[in-house]
Chain A
């Protein structure tokens, strides 16, 4: 009987894992199981191009659906049926439908879901951006002159604020404890991005958090709808719709009860093998694995290239484990990310978020639309670079410098 590798999660991570399992020589069964009804699709456009002009749902889906490698044949898909439980010792998965499925090897690729603002209030009129339906539903709210409050100034919050402004909305961005994209870009460039957003018409409110939602109550038991936010400092901001972009939560609850470290995603070694489990690997942004390029311990990486990078390591490790062959030495992935905001592209490489020193290489970070480049160091070693409104060949140049900086002495494959 053919052995089966089950992949829990049918988004980009699940697809890349399936492809890489075939590349790694796995010729037996591959079953990809996912909660969404759509085949794997890319999410970056959901806060940008698709949010701005989605067209019909068919057009939007066609624009985001991921092409599959032609070599990835004979893959079975079970969509619209999320995995809700796992018995790793018994090698059995439970689906939301109640169905139970056995497996020989398992890939954890269940990704993230948006975190919510933890304040009471009706959900009507409040939006998150994770799925295609989220983006299409939010688009309908972004009418000219609509008052939109965006809570959270990470990449998605800033992109959504820019997109809504381009659609003619009046946008207020509640930044929270740090400035626009500050955790990734650092303070100087973040302040430059705030000036840029403000110039383009976004009202940025710094250092504030949402203390309460406001909502209408017709007193007749009708639908309650969110009408805005009240900030901790007392100010009220009215909104026709609120966008919550306050980070994300790894989908790992289904793995509970198996003795794994699920404190932030699922803990893996440098081969993406899940610790304390046999024949289980993880891919994508649910995986917490050693950051070998900074030597700062295991962390999750929520960037575009992460599913491909991690699948390329996890798939051969899983196949080697199942076949009893030697596990190949993994590469150390170098994360890459980008955002497009009001027509300027910010591109980054490495792990700027953990830097202890930032240096300006080109331009002026207080004017990011005019072109700027920054270097990020940790313990004197270059670990990241960010360019703003510069041609891609500049980003490639700085990427080369980060690559050449190599791995620190503290780099290790073990997770702890």
Chain B
């Protein structure tokens, strides 16, 4: 398992992460990000894409 963290002071709820990695990130009906901090290794590629496309670079992989 791997861990991801979102800096809420940066997050602007664009929703791009939920496009790239829908199993980890989703937008609730109020348009606010919800996410699973731990995810299976097989989703790493998607999470890296989510990190890439985040317009405010709010997503961080943790060691």
Question: Are A and B bound to each other?
Answer: yes
Given known A69-B48, A391-B31, A393-B28, contact A305–B53 (CB-CB < 8 A): yes
A392-B31 in contact (CB<8A)? yes
Kindly identify which residue among A66, A67, A308, A338 contacts B14, using a CB–CB cutoff of 8 Å: A338
Q: Check if A42 is an interface residue, CB within 8 A of chain B.
A: yes
- Main SS at interface, chain A: mixed
Q: Which residues of B are found within 8 Å of A127, using beta-carbon distances?
A: none
Query: Number of B residues contacting the other chain (C-beta, 8 Å)?
Result: 21
B48-A305 in contact (CB<8A)? no
Kindly identify which residue among B18, B48, B61 contacts A396, using a CB–CB cutoff of 8 Å: B18
B16-A305 in contact (CB<8A)? yes
Nearest CB on A from B55, distance (A): 6
Q: Write the chain B residue with the least CB distance to A307.
A: B52
Q: Which residues of A are found within 8 Å of B53, using beta-carbon distances?
A: 304-305, 308
Q: Check if B6 is an interface residue, CB within 8 A of chain A.
A: no
Nearest CB on A from B18, distance (A): 6
Q: Check if B4 is an interface residue, CB within 8 A of chain A.
A: no
A393-B31 in contact (CB<8A)? yes
Nearest CB on A from B12, distance (A): 9
A residues 390-406 touching B (CB-CB < 8 Å)? 390-396, 399
Given known A308-B49, A391-B29, contact A396–B55 (CB-CB < 8 A): no
B27-A392 in contact (CB<8A)? yes
Q: Which residues of A are found within 8 Å of B28, using beta-carbon distances?
A: 393
Complex CA gap A242/B36 in Å reads: 47
Kindly identify which residue among A19, A66, A308, A393 contacts B29, using a CB–CB cutoff of 8 Å: A393
Q: Which residues of B are found within 8 Å of A67, using beta-carbon distances?
A: 51, 57
B30-A336 in contact (CB<8A)? no
Given known A69-B48, A308-B49, A391-B31, contact A396–B15 (CB-CB < 8 A): yes
Nearest CB on B from A398, distance (A): 11
A residues 322-366 touching B (CB-CB < 8 Å)? 336, 338, 345, 347
Q: Check if B19 is an interface residue, CB within 8 A of chain A.
A: yes
Q: Mark A288-326, 1 if CB is under 8 A from B, else 0.
A: 000000000000000011001000000000000000000
B55-A392 in contact (CB<8A)? no
Q: Which residues of B are found within 8 Å of A70, using beta-carbon distances?
A: 61
Complex CA gap A305/B20 in Å reads: 11
Q: Mark B13-49, 1 if CB is under 8 A from A, else 0.
A: 1111011000000111111100000000000000011
A393-B57 in contact (CB<8A)? no
Complex CA gap A308/B50 in Å reads: 11
B57-A336 in contact (CB<8A)? no
Q: Write the chain B residue with the least CB distance to A305.
A: B53
Given known A338-B14, A395-B15, A399-B19, contact A304–B57 (CB-CB < 8 A): no
B55-A308 in contact (CB<8A)? no
Q: Which residues of A are found within 8 Å of B29, using beta-carbon distances?
A: 391, 393
A392-B13 in contact (CB<8A)? yes
Known A69-B52, A395-B15, A396-B27; further 6 A-B contacts with Cβ < 8 A: A305-B16, A308-B52, A391-B31, A392-B18, A392-B31, A393-B28
Q: Which 10 residue pairs of A and B lie closest in terms of their CB atoms, listed nearest first?
A: A391-B31, A392-B15, A393-B27, A392-B27, A392-B31, A308-B52, A392-B13, A305-B53, A396-B15, A393-B31
| A interface residues (Cβ-Cβ under 8 A, vs B) | 16, 19, 42, 44, 66-67, 69-71, 304-305, 308, 336, 338, 345, 347, 390-396, 399
21 contacts between A and B (CB under 8 A): A16-B52, A42-B55, A67-B51, A69-B48, A304-B55, A305-B53, A308-B49, A308-B53, A338-B14, A391-B13, A391-B32, A392-B13, A392-B15, A393-B26, A393-B27, A393-B28, A393-B29, A393-B30, A394-B31, A396-B18, A396-B27
